[in-house]
């Protein structure tokens, strides 16, 4: 038996050697669970292999643990070298240990990003070139464009823009047809980086910008917006003076490339007004004003109509003041755009429109039918049906020498439906039909909405039949009116999901595409009507079933609806989805809404967590409103630690917020009065209080 056992032990060691296991781990004479006997003189390879499985597993586990530990040790060394700025030693570890197995450890805590940035900025004589580092990352990292953009920007920051430009060209040569090129659009840094190299080269060489070269770099006329430029450069560590210089160059380039009077730009303005995107509209208008091209009368008119469609009288008047200052002589269309927005001035509407009509006549512009339509609209709001219909009658009998057109007709119908009865509106239709005015799509939608609100479903059906007979196709508004009426009805029972789904499917069967723009229009209608939150959730669910994903506009509508109805947790859930997919282009507005919502619910701890997420976000940074909200609540909560943290953070973000803004400066003074010390970097930028300014003014007068 001893000879058999010895022989078996040697066989096991040979098999272990063949299988690549440590031979020393298999002692001679080990019994693996089966014995040789007189009848089985031969042991098969499969038997031995099977018997060695537990041992092999333990051995592999030990080896893997040793490898992981070795990598972990090297990563620690790598981190220490980065912190001590020993980039040559860090590069040696990168060369020897960066591979598919170690990628995760290198990318944790942004170590790899720091390494690439430091190498690109300092450009040391190391064991591997910057280009070789990037190409090595390329082989194992799918989303490597951020490392390329970091390297490009740091090369520019180091004063060697040509190095950055060469890197960008190399990336394009290697990835123009690969999937990595998709990140060109999603990575803001990589979108900005090549443009910055060109701008910096022009600054350094004192050369003029060339629009054709810029188009080749950008592959489009769409120059990145100034906030994006500032954000990317700030995160890359550029000095404030350098950022301002590059922003100035960007504005020059924008004025060369972006045609603010062109159809493409103006179509974006119209669409933003139609969708109610006020923030985007403001950005587009600032962009238009920054252009070195004079804005045309048509451009001013489209901006005024867009702001008016959003109910923004302040911005509409701002455009009016700009156009008159620029020397544009207002036409009747521009005057009418101004008259139309007076309806949003509440108690001052009538006084304002009457004053404008007088000035209009003084300037030699005769009011036309649309001018009187705006007056009728304001009279319905301010004085009621009787006064408004008097103007309508004066137009009808010729006292006012302007004919009743479709705009006047629909404006009057809307007023009668809002302030009178359906029967009166129907009588008006019959009377005007004799003079050649027939209902159009807007007229039909007015009646559909009114009948739905009255619960007269048969009448709604009759209007749809009537529309078909006279050749008018229903649009999204036609069905949106029905949806709003269903949800805003005085009945306690809300429509079922099935009802909503069938209605939207019917809309599709009528030739209305179920695309994202259709759902945006539905959400806007629900938002304007302040419909119950169930309507937003129902439409969102149907949108998802039709494989239409959220975008920044649809997500904003849903989030705002949840917030307005006191559901910040639900809003946060939608925001998290949208943020993960990078759908919100300007998330600071949503962050501030969430912070306000949780503060209103006396959940300051949750508001602070939202704030921490905002600070960590790469898409936004805290704004004036953020700190006004949080500082005021920290005063109420009497939490010195939180107040200290907020003031410290403000000193870090002081170049990104307008500390001189009146409300923020006042809030900071309240904080100071409560006994907290304001950091000097913030205090020096605070706006003086009215009393301080008056004292300073008196001292100035005395000194004179």
What does the domain layout of the chain look like in residue ranges? 2-61, 76-257, 330-438
Question: What is the length of the chain?
Answer: 704
3-state secondary structure of 193: helix
3-state SS of 365-409 is: CCCCHHHHHHHHHHHHHHCCHHHHHHHHHHHHHCCCCCCCCHHHH
Token code pair at residue 364:
């030699």
Residue 594 · residue 625 · CB < 8 Å: no
Mean pLDDT of the chain: 80
Q: Give the pLDDT confidence of 308-347 residue by residue, as tens digits.
A: 988 888 999 999 999 999 999 999 999 999 999 998 877 7
DSSP state of 676: P
Question: What local confidence, expressed as pLDDT, does residue 368 receive?
Answer: 94
Question: What local confidence, expressed as pLDDT, does residue 384 receive?
Answer: 86
3-state secondary structure of 423: helix
- Other beta carbons within 10 angstroms of residue 464's beta carbon come to 17
- Residues 114-143 have a mean pLDDT of 86
Concatenating the DSSP letter of every residue in 26-39 gives S-TT---S----TT
* pLDDT tier at 189, thresholds 50, 70, 90: low
Question: What local confidence, expressed as pLDDT, does residue 37 receive?
Answer: 39
Report the distance separating Cα 341 and Cα 620, nearest Å: 33
- Residues 411-426 have a mean pLDDT of 90
* pLDDT tier at 220, thresholds 50, 70, 90: low
* pLDDT tier at 353, thresholds 50, 70, 90: very high
Q: Give the pLDDT confidence of 511-538 residue by residue, as tens digits.
A: 788 888 888 888 888 887 788 888 888 8
3-state secondary structure of 42: coil
Residue 110 · residue 118 · CB < 8 Å: no
What are the start-end ranges of the E strands in 270-372?
Answer: none
Report the distance separating Cα 574 and Cα 564, nearest Å: 14
Token code pair at residue 186:
């999603």
Residue 24 pLDDT greater than 50, yes or no: no
* pLDDT tier at 171, thresholds 50, 70, 90: confident
Q: How many angstroms separate the most distant Cα atoms in the chain? A: 129
Q: Between the CA of residue 289 and those of 261, 293, 615, what are the distances in Å?
A: 11, 9, 31
- Residues 226-246 have a mean pLDDT of 82
Concatenating the DSSP letter of every residue in 337-370 gives HHHHHGGGGGGGHHHHHHHHHHHHHHTTPPP-HH
Residue 165 pLDDT greater than 60, yes or no: yes
End-to-end, the C-alpha distance of the chain in Å comes to 120
Window from 14-23, 180-189, 384-393, 640-649 with minimum mean pLDDT: 14-23
Residue 542 · residue 501 · CB < 8 Å: yes
Report the distance separating Cα 422 and Cα 434, nearest Å: 19
Token code pair at residue 231:
């954000």
Q: Which residue has the higher pLDDT, 657 or 422?
A: 422
Question: What local confidence, expressed as pLDDT, does residue 204 receive?
Answer: 81
Q: Which residue has the higher pLDDT, 657 or 598?
A: 598
Report the distance separating Cα 21 and Cα 672, nearest Å: 72
The whole model's pTM is what? Answer: 0.57
Token code pair at residue 620:
């936004």
Name the residue among 87, 180, 169, 73 with its Cα closest to residue 125.
87
- Residues 417-438 have a mean pLDDT of 85
Residue 357 · residue 371 · CB < 8 Å: yes
Report the distance separating Cα 333 and Cα 70, nearest Å: 76
Report the distance separating Cα 292 and Cα 529, nearest Å: 41
Report the distance separating Cα 201 and Cα 236, nearest Å: 18
Question: What local confidence, expressed as pLDDT, does residue 498 receive?
Answer: 84
155-182 burial, b at 16+ Cβ within 10 Å, e below that, comes to bbbeebbebbbebbeebeeebeeeebee
Report the distance separating Cα 421 and Cα 315, nearest Å: 35
Question: What local confidence, expressed as pLDDT, does residue 473 receive?
Answer: 87
Residue 489 pLDDT greater than 80, yes or no: no
Residue with the two structure tokens 């070789």: 132
- Residues 80-109 have a mean pLDDT of 85
Question: What local confidence, expressed as pLDDT, does residue 59 receive?
Answer: 52
The percentage of residues in the chain with a pLDDT greater than 70, rounded to a whole number, is 83
Residue 447 pLDDT greater than 80, yes or no: yes
Question: What local confidence, expressed as pLDDT, does residue 6 receive?
Answer: 33
Residue 371 pLDDT greater than 70, yes or no: yes
Window from 333-337, 359-363, 603-607, 659-663 with minimum mean pLDDT: 659-663
Residue 164 · residue 128 · CB < 8 Å: no
Report the distance separating Cα 316 and Cα 592, nearest Å: 26
Report the distance separating Cα 219 and Cα 562, nearest Å: 39
Residue 21 pLDDT greater than 50, yes or no: no
Helices and strands (DSSP H and E) totals, the chain: 38, 0
Most confident of 172-181, 284-293, 398-407, 651-660: 398-407
- Residues 609-614 have a mean pLDDT of 90
Question: What local confidence, expressed as pLDDT, does residue 345 receive?
Answer: 78
Report the distance separating Cα 255 and Cα 252, nearest Å: 5
- Residues 631-652 have a mean pLDDT of 89
Name the residue among 689, 600, 684 with its Cα closest to residue 650.
684
Token code pair at residue 185:
């659009």
Residue 197 pLDDT greater than 80, yes or no: yes
Q: Which residue has the higher pLDDT, 182 or 199?
A: 199
Window from 134-148, 312-326, 412-426, 484-498 with minimum mean pLDDT: 484-498
188-227 burial, b at 16+ Cβ within 10 Å, e below that, comes to bbbbbbbbbbbbbebbeeeeebeeeebeebbeebebbbbe
């Amino acid at each position: 038996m001893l000879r058999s056992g010895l022989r078996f032990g040697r066989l096991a060691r040979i098999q272990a050697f063949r299988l690549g296991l440590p031979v020393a781990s298999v002692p001679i004479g080990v019994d693996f669970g089966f014995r040789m006997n007189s009848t089985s003189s031969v042991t098969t390879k499969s038997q031995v292999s099977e018997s060695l499985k537990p041992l092999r597993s333990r051995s592999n586990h030990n080896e893997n643990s040793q490898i992981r530990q070795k990598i972990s040790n090297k990563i620690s060394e790598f981190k220490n070298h980065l912190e001590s700025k020993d980039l040559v030693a860090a590069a040696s570890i990168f060369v020897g240990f960066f591979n598919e197995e170690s990628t995760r450890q290198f990318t944790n805590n942004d170590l790899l990003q720091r390494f690439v940035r430091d190498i690109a900025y300092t450009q040391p004589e190391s064991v591997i070139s910057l280009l070789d580092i990037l190409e090595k990352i390329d082989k194992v990292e799918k989303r490597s464009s951020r490392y390329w953009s970091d390297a490009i920007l740091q090369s520019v920051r180091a004063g060697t823009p040509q190095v950055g430009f060469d890197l960008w060209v190399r990336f394009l040569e290697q990835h123009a047809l690969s999937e990595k090129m998709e990140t060109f659009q999603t990575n803001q840094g990589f979108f900005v980086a090549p443009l910055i190299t060109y701008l910096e080269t022009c600054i350094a060489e004192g050369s003029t910008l060339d629009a054709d070269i810029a188009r080749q770099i950008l592959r489009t006329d769409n120059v990145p917006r100034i906030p994006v430029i500032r954000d990317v450069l700030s995160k890359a560590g550029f000095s404030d003076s350098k950022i301002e210089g590059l922003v100035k160059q960007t504005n020059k380039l924008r004025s060369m490339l972006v045609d603010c009077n062109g159809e493409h730009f103006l179509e974006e303005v119209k669409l933003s007004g139609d969708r109610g995107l006020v923030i985007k509209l403001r950005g587009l208008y600032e962009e238009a004003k920054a252009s070195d091209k004079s804005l045309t009368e048509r451009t001013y008119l489209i901006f005024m109509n867009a702001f008016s469609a959003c109910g923004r009288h302040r911005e509409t008047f701002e455009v009016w003041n700009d156009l008159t200052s620029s020397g544009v002589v207002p036409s009747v269309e521009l005057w009418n755009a101004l008259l139309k927005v007076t309806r949003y001035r509440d108690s001052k509407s009538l006084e304002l429109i009457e004053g404008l009509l007088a000035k209009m006549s003084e300037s030699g512009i005769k009011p036309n039918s649309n001018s009187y339509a705006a007056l009728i609209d304001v009279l319905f709001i301010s004085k009621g049906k009787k006064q408004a219909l008097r103007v309508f009658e004066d137009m009808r009998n010729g006292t006012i020498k302007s004919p009743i057109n479709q705009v006047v007709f629909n404006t009057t119908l809307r007023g009668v439906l809002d302030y009178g009865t359906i029967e009166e509106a129907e009588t008006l239709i019959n009377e005007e039909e004799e003079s050649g005015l027939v209902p159009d799509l807007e007229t039909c939608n007015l009646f559909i909405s009114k009948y739905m609100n009255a619960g007269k479903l048969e009448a709604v059906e009759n209007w749809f039949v009537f529309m078909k007979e006279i050749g008018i196709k229903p649009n999204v508004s036609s069905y949106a009116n029905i949806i709003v009426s269903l949800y805003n009805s005085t009945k306690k029972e809300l429509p079922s999901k099935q009802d909503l789904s069938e209605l939207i499917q019917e809309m599709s069967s009528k030739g209305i595409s179920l695309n994202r723009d259709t759902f945006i229009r539905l959400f806007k209608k629900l938002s304007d009507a302040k419909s119950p939150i169930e309507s937003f959730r129902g439409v969102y669910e149907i949108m998802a079933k039709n494989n239409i994903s959220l975008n920044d506009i649809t997500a904003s509508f849903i989030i705002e609806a949840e917030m307005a109805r006191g559901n910040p947790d639900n809003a946060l859930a939608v925001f998290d989805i949208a943020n993960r997919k990078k759908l919100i282009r300007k998330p600071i507005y949503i962050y501030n809404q969430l912070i306000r919502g949780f503060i209103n619910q006396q959940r300051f701890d949750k508001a602070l967590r939202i704030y921490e997420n905002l600070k960590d976000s790469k898409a936004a940074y805290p704004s004036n409103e953020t700190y006004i909200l949080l500082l005021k609540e920290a005063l109420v909560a009497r939490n010195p630690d939180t107040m200290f943290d907020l003031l410290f953070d403000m000193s870090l973000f002081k170049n990104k917020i307008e500390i001189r803004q009146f409300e923020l400066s006042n809030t900071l003074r309240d904080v100071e009065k409560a006994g907290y010390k304001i950091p000097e970097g913030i205090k020096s930028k605070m706006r003086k209080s009215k009393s301080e300014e008056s004292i300073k003014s008196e001292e100035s007068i005395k000194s004179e």
